[in-house]
Amino acid sequence: MGRLLIGRVEHKRLNPDRDQGIIVRSSWFRATTTNQKEFELSNGKEETMFSKEPGLSPHAVVLATLILLCGACVAGQAAPFECFAASDLVRVFNDGYHCPEPGKAIEIFGIRNEYLSGQCVIKANQDIEHVTVSLSPLQHVKRSMSLPADAASWNFVGSIPITENTPKYRKTDLIRPAPARFPDYLAEDKEISLKKDEYGAVYLTVWVPPDAQEGDYAASLTIRSDQGTASLPLRLSVYPLTLPDERHLMVTEWYSTNKFKQFHGIDASDSERFYEMLGLYARNMAEHRQNVFRVSLDLIACKLNEQGKLELDFSRFDKWAEVFWNTGHMDLLETGFVARFGEGGWSSKEIMLRDFRAQSAGGTVTIPGKEFLPQFLPAFENHLREKGWLEKTIFHIADEPSNHNVMDWREASEFAHRYAPALRRIDAIETPHCLDRLEIWVPKLDYLATWYDVYRRAQDQGYELWFYTVGIFQKGSHPNKTVDVPLIESRILHWLNYRYGLKGYLHWGFNQWTDDPFEAPGQHRGDGWHVYPKKDGLLCSLRWEQMRNGLQDYEYFWMLEDKIREMKAGLGERVSIIDPSRRGVEIASQVVKTMSDYSKEPQVLYAAKRQIIEELLALDTPPRVLVQTTPLEHTTIGNDCPIDLYGWAEPGTKITVRGTELPVSADGLFMENVSLSRDKKVVVEAELGGNKKTITRTFEVLY
């Protein structure tokens, strides 16, 4: 006998006037008859469930009717469970807290060489057992081809307990009050059970291969249990663009091997297994677009010879580094940390060069930094040069200097630079007083927002500017990574990077686990890790997946900027006023207006992402036009204030604004002051040889 599943049935009847089967009214429905033919019913519509076909007798229809009535909706009972689509940017709580609005299909879009995410929800109307999921191949709707079978995968989502919320000034920054279990990790289990009224989330990951055909694809996600079966359509749209393999934003997550034995059963003495696991970590990072990795100076073996000179063995340091270089996706090696805080740790007013250990004929000796570094640093710099790594190495002095100890830090930084002048220095900082002592500034996000003018001036002077976050120690309403803030924040961190022209992101917690990250996450509320341990590897978190999505979004902005830069390069000196990054900043500002004013709505982010795709494609369609304004689009201006409109168009293009044709020079340059329309827009119409294009910029008006 075939499978039958009904969801939220409102009305059903036999149609006595037509010999065409059963008519059902339902919010959603999928049934499989004995001949395995499937039918879907759309919301609020009457459709035929069983057609009259050869081999399907009226008796079979009556039998199916009885099964329908008795098996799925006896005495008005609901279906055993419901399933519906939800945004991948929201957390689905097991108790249904603020459950997202249901969708009828999982709909995702993107470009080639991109990882995409989707999500669906299972709501149990009764206890359901042995719940499993399957995905059919993603088949092109117009061509006889499909994505590889392993292009799409799924995981149930597991939750961790949070007893107290992250300290925030506004409770509205949090997604729910603690105590509660917060969804966070992609579970390894492929079968679950749900109690009545519980919700379960299924998270989808789809990779679009670089050679995928553009167009629409369709698949079906099927959920089976002992109590019934349901399916949801999965729809994928692939646009004719390809995400670059190159990474244009520097990203580091600090990792640890200290718990290899506890969670992976690997002792450091087991060199082969140790480096295999380290390689697995490195590949996971690279797959999530992390491209900066950290290697400790303590891996360099130091020996004092009979003359009291240092002899250095770099073999372990090199082997460790090569594990990451071999991923093919790492751009920077991060090392250093040659100074430390005095008594009291971070709050100490002292920062001093740390001591180092070396082997001698009499055993291990401790050498003060002021004696060790003048010998060590020149040799280390030369070794990096020989390996071809010098320009790809960044060097820490001490982590998180602040105003109460920054003068000591400046002395330590100058000392290190004196003996290794070619090494670029980088530090996470909580101070703006780093001029002439630091090449890469990495302020904490709340400090960056508060002292932005100072940091921006440093950026204008040629210093590279990144930022970092640190969950419970970050103040204000800025994006964060604890599990009790909106999931979208892990993604928009990198919209913020582009919005403010920042070049990198640093975070302290790839896998800084507690002894039980699943059930006792501790004070950092998940911020200490993006992955969870399993015996033979790692489980990714929702935050880690969304961080990758955000890094891919950053590359969208880079692609748009690069395309405009490419167009500008052939246009001559007069078009130098065009800023290639400006349009990306305008689109990013739809999601991130400021560092503390950003959208938490998935539809806003996805609308902006789709806009980037559409504008990238439009730049190659005639007439080719570049439009910029001062002020930036979405800026709030006074009523009747003029907008400085300027740009470039293919020679011969007619440019019109509010019915007035603007003069276009022979080289395509146009420039004019224009006023807003009644709906607060500047609408530019371009026409060339019968081809037309409309470009719109929208503004806010004070009054």
- Which of 96-100, 348-352, 573-577 is predicted least confidently? 573-577
Q: Which pLDDT tens digit goes with each residue over 117-170?
A: 999 999 999 999 999 999 999 999 999 999 999 999 999 999 999 999 998 768
Of residues 6 and 70, more confidently modeled = 70
CATH architecture assigned to 250-518: Alpha-Beta Barrel (3.20)
Phi, psi of 233 (to 5 degrees): -75, 140
Q: What is the mean pLDDT of residues 333-360?
A: 97
For residue 35, pLDDT over 60 is answered with: no
SS (H, E, C) 351-397: EEECCEEEEECCEEEEECHHHHHHHHHHHHHHHHHHHCCHHHEEEEC
Phi, psi of 213 (to 5 degrees): -75, 140
Residue 24 banded pLDDT, cuts 50, 70, 90: very low
Task: Record the tokens describing residue 128, joined without a space.
Answer: 């359901």
Q: Which amino acid is at 671?
A: M
Of residues 295 and 47, more confidently modeled = 295
Percent of the chain with pLDDT over 70: 89
For residue 303, pLDDT over 70 is answered with: yes
Which positions ≥6 away from 611 have C-beta within 8 Å?
587, 590
* Domain 563-701, CATH number (from 3.10.129.10, 2.60.40.10, 3.40.50.2300, 3.40.50.300): 2.60.40.10
Residue 380 banded pLDDT, cuts 50, 70, 90: very high
Q: Where are the alpha helices (DSSP H) in 364-512?
A: 369-387, 406-419, 445-450, 452-460, 488-499
Residue 558 banded pLDDT, cuts 50, 70, 90: very high
Q: What is the mean pLDDT of residues 32-42?
A: 35
Contact 113, 210 (CB under 8 A): yes
CATH 3.20.20: which residues of the chain? Answer: 250-518
The position carrying tokens 């579970």 is: 187
Model pLDDT, residue 298: 97
What is the enclosing helix (H) or strand (E) of 278?
Answer: helix 271-287
For residue 38, pLDDT over 80 is answered with: no
Model pLDDT, residue 529: 98
Of residues 476 and 415, more confidently modeled = 415
Model pLDDT, residue 19: 35
Percent of the chain with pLDDT over 90: 85
Q: What is the mean pLDDT of residues 179-194?
A: 98
Q: Nearest 10 degrees: CA dihedral of 40, 45, 46, 51?
A: -20
Integer Cα distance of 10 and 119 in angstroms:
26
Residue 263, Ramachandran bin (φ over 0: left; ψ between -120 and 50: alpha; else beta): alpha
Contact 321, 389 (CB under 8 A): yes
One DSSP character per residue, 153-187 reads EEEEEEEEEESSPPP-S-GGGSSSPSSEEEEEEE-
Model pLDDT, residue 59: 46
Of residues 261 and 24, more confidently modeled = 261
Q: Which pLDDT tens digit goes with each residue over 47-105?
A: 333 333 344 444 443 344 334 434 444 445 689 999 999 999 999 999 999 999 999 99
Q: For the chain, percent helix, then strand, then coil, each to nearest 5?
A: 25, 35, 40
- Which of 34-38, 312-316, 407-411, 453-457 is predicted least confidently? 34-38
Residue 182 banded pLDDT, cuts 50, 70, 90: very high
Contact 568, 579 (CB under 8 A): no
Of residues 75 and 444, more confidently modeled = 444
CATH 2.60.40.10: which residues of the chain? Answer: 81-242, 563-701
Q: Which pLDDT tens digit goes with each residue over 221-262?
A: 999 999 999 999 999 999 999 999 999 999 999 999 999 999
Model pLDDT, residue 640: 85
* Domain 81-242, CATH number (from 2.10.109.10, 2.60.40.1180, 3.40.50.720, 2.60.40.10): 2.60.40.10
Model pLDDT, residue 570: 87
SS (H, E, C) 513-537: CCCECCCECCCCCCCCECEEEECCE
Q: Which pLDDT tens digit goes with each residue over 506-520?
A: 999 999 999 999 999
Task: Record the tokens describing residue 591, joined without a space.
Answer: 């999601």
Model pLDDT, residue 241: 98
Average model confidence (pLDDT) across the chain: 90
Q: Which pLDDT tens digit goes with each residue over 520-532?
A: 999 999 999 999 9
Residue 569 banded pLDDT, cuts 50, 70, 90: very high
Of residues 588 and 69, more confidently modeled = 588
Q: Which pLDDT tens digit goes with each residue over 665-687?
A: 999 999 999 999 999 999 999 99
For residue 337, pLDDT over 50 is answered with: yes
Integer Cα distance of 198 and 201 in angstroms:
10
Q: What is the mean pLDDT of residues 689-699?
A: 97
